[in-house]
Amino acid sequence: MGESTPEGQRSIAERLDWLIREVYPGQRDIERKIAQLSQEYEAKHPGVPTITHQTVANIRSGKSTNPGINAVRALANAFGVKVSYFLDDQPAASPTDEPATMAQPVAPTLDQRLNLLFEVVHPKGRDAFTNNEVAEVIAERGGKVTAEEIKALREGTWDPSDYEGFGALADFFRVPVTYFTDGEAAIKIAAGLNRLSALKAFGVRTIVMRLVNEIDPEALEAVVPLMERLARTERRQRM
């Protein structure tokens, strides 16, 4: 990794792709790999921003050309490079071994908050909910959230400050509505969700013990419904 990136590759997406080619050539499902690295970094440095695989995919595909400082910090932390590698106006230099600057906790963007919920909350025995599935369940409950609105929120192309659908989305994913409307609450709840995601592989009992000991009480209260859902799923699978 001692060479500079090719001249002219200045967009965040191009710099990210160069890093991927250098560090993880041929890696399958690289977006999830980067999200996992981000969560592992946050587990060691609680409160720093993380990134979801969907946000990584949006950056790489060009859907998100200005992903925000939180996403950039999370990418830098995941690869162990300086934030300036992604942000400098000059042609991107080769990443150094210098670790990324420790950032103060910053509220995740709206698309990051929603994508994190999709990543953590899964139906039994399959991958994440689709936008259509979430919209259909909300409609059955009398809510008014369309699949197109969910898609725009997840891709970061729509960032409403006052959206009546936040309550319905919060109810579906069983988190407080303040997760969508309050930055400070979002930081705490996202930290709990990230830890929950990282610990799922260790079993529900381990998750509960780690969460009780390590997570802020407000964040713990927010993720308890998700923990209960996991526990019910585990009991059904054992029957």
Burial class (CB in 10 A: 0-12, 13-18, 19+), 220: buried
Domain of residue 131: give its range. Answer: 110-238
Give residue 229's pLDDT: 58
pLDDT tens-digit map of 110-128: 888 998 899 888 777 778 8
CATH code of residue 39: 1.10.260
The total of structural domains in the chain comes to 2
pLDDT tens-digit map of 58-92: 999 988 888 888 899 999 888 888 888 888 754 44
Is pTM beyond 0.75 here?
no
Q: What number is the average pLDDT over the span 212-239?
A: 55
Contact 193, 176 (CB under 8 A): no
Please indicate, yes or no, whether residues 50 and 142 belong to a single structural domain of this protein: no
Residues of the chain by 3-state class (helix, strand, coil), percent to 5: 60, 0, 40
Please indicate, yes or no, whether residues 55 and 128 belong to a single structural domain of this protein: no
Query: Which of 53, 72, 87 is a domain's end point?
Result: 87
pLDDT tens-digit map of 150-207: 999 998 888 887 898 999 999 999 899 999 999 888 888 887 777 666 655 444 444 4
Give residue 235's pLDDT: 54
